[in-house]
Amino acid sequence: MNARKPVNSPTRRDFMKLSGAALLSSSVLDRVALAAQRRVAPGAFLKSDETLKVALIGCGGRGGGAVRQALSTKGPVKLVALADAFQDRLDDTLKGLQGELADKLDVPADRRFVGFDAYQKAIDLCDVAILTTPPGFRPAHFEYAISKGKHVFMEKPVATDAPGVRRVLAAAEESKKKNLKVGVGLQRHHDPGYVEVVKRVQDGAIGDLPLMRVYWCDGGVWVNARRPGQTEMEYQMRNWYYFVWLCGDHIVEQHIHNLDVANWVKNMTPVSARGQGGRQVRTGIDHGEIFDHHHVEFTYPDGTKLFSYCHHWPQAWSSVSEHAHGTKGYADLSGKTITATGGAAWRFDMPRGSEPIDPYQNEHDVLFDAIRQNKPHNEAVYGATSTMTAIFGRMATYSGREISWNDALNSPVSVMPKVLDWTADPQSLPDATGRYKIPMPGVTNAVSSS
């Protein structure tokens, strides 16, 4: 249930060319998919009634939810491996899966892997890899899964910097050649209300769209205090939300959902971005290096604007929503309503007698059905473009400068540690007071390494 159309703007073509992948029309994609199916050796895909073996890589809260949804799809499925950087997170997730899902668990002690290389050991054992670690690890994990011929569900965002996005795009191209199925956790594409309201807007229900507004404004998330004896690497990974290499900042980790809807509606990606942001409320020593607010003005290839707002301000106004203003009316996309000029209104309702559809479950249902029935299904490219849009916005707010899409996409700036080891240092380190360097608009160069 995905109404997203091929993106045909010159900017999106540039994105794919620069990443080493080719953007194809839907008809060409269909032919490529059919050709790929013919190249796949007999037995490469399981029969629809055979057991799909699942591995969970990343045993946090979202990982636990995603694997429950995977194990609740139609047809026989087993969880056969777990991987996490931390033993306690792995143990807690496995314990939480006991009960009604116990008959779908087959994870003896020798298939529970811990450490930075744990993902490889788990992926090697599965048919479907569920990638739900902090997003900084996603490019390497996705790349490895595809190299091993595994189907993938990966949470959003799919990277935290432009080099990571380019790695994902290259692996996405490889996944298409291998006819692998890929789902991305932008679940609004599997929500019938969103699908219908986006289709109506794209079909002209409110005319042309000179302006869109999107929001993820709330009070923020958890904090884990530093513990005695922790290395800097462990501390940052336990507090992954507050470090750019791990989460991308909250404009990337959360606001991606709203930016993705705007790109979906416009059927293109922005060409320029400028904005402002900083730390005004969540400025504690436990709040790492991220901003607590970002406001970005994106411009699309047709000259239209997207105003993007996100903040982590406790006890302030809140909204998680998307809005489209047209020449003939207005659409509250998150509310699944359209009001035309003159007052005529439409609201999405499930057909009479239909059960409500949980988009989190539906995205797994669609993926696993595509695997069993060998249907075309690959969401990696729009997962990458939506991720890049959010990173693009972060570059604009961190630098305080207007930035072009091509410069952002081509940025060599990597936020990842040079070495992944418990005793290795991430790039960002605290000063003598325990505080981290915060990006300074007008000073920070977020695009170039010079």
Whole-angstrom Cα distance, residue 335 to residue 2?
A: 18
Distance between CA atoms of 425 and 125, rounded to whole angstroms? 31
C-alpha closest to that of 172 among 10, 373, 416, 386? 386
* pLDDT band at residue 450 using 50, 70 and 90 as cut-offs: low
Domains of the chain: 10-189+359-379 (3.40.50.720), 198-356+389-409 (3.30.360.10)
Please check the confidence at residue 227 and state whether its pLDDT lies above 60.
yes
- Mean pLDDT across 215-229: 95
Is the pLDDT score of 30 beyond 80?
Answer: no
299-320 pLDDT, tens digit each: 999 999 999 999 999 999 999 9
User: Which amino acid is located at 376 in the chain?
Assistant: P
Q: Which of 35-44, 217-226, 384-393 has the lowest mean pLDDT?
A: 35-44
Q: Give the confidence band of 45 by pLDDT, cuts at 50, 70, 90.
A: low
Residue 38 confidence (pLDDT): 35
- CA distance to 30, 98, 113, 152, per residue, from 107 (Å): 38, 11, 10, 19
Count of beta carbons in the 10 Å neighbourhood of residue 360: 16
Residue 29: what pLDDT? 33
State what percent of residues in the chain have pLDDT above 90. Answer: 86
The single-letter DSSP state of residue 429 is: -
Rounded CA-CA distance 36/178 in Å is 6
Please tell me the pTM assigned to this model. Answer: 0.90
Contacting residues for 403 by C-beta, under 8 A, at least 6 apart: 272, 273, 274, 392, 395, 396, 446, 447
Tokens 């143990």 map to which residue? 91
Q: What mean pLDDT do residues 198-218 have?
A: 98
pLDDT digits (tens, 9 = 90+) for 103-125: 999 999 999 999 999 999 999 99
pLDDT bucket at 351, cuts 50 / 70 / 90: confident
pLDDT band at 47 (very low <50, low <70, confident <90, very high): low
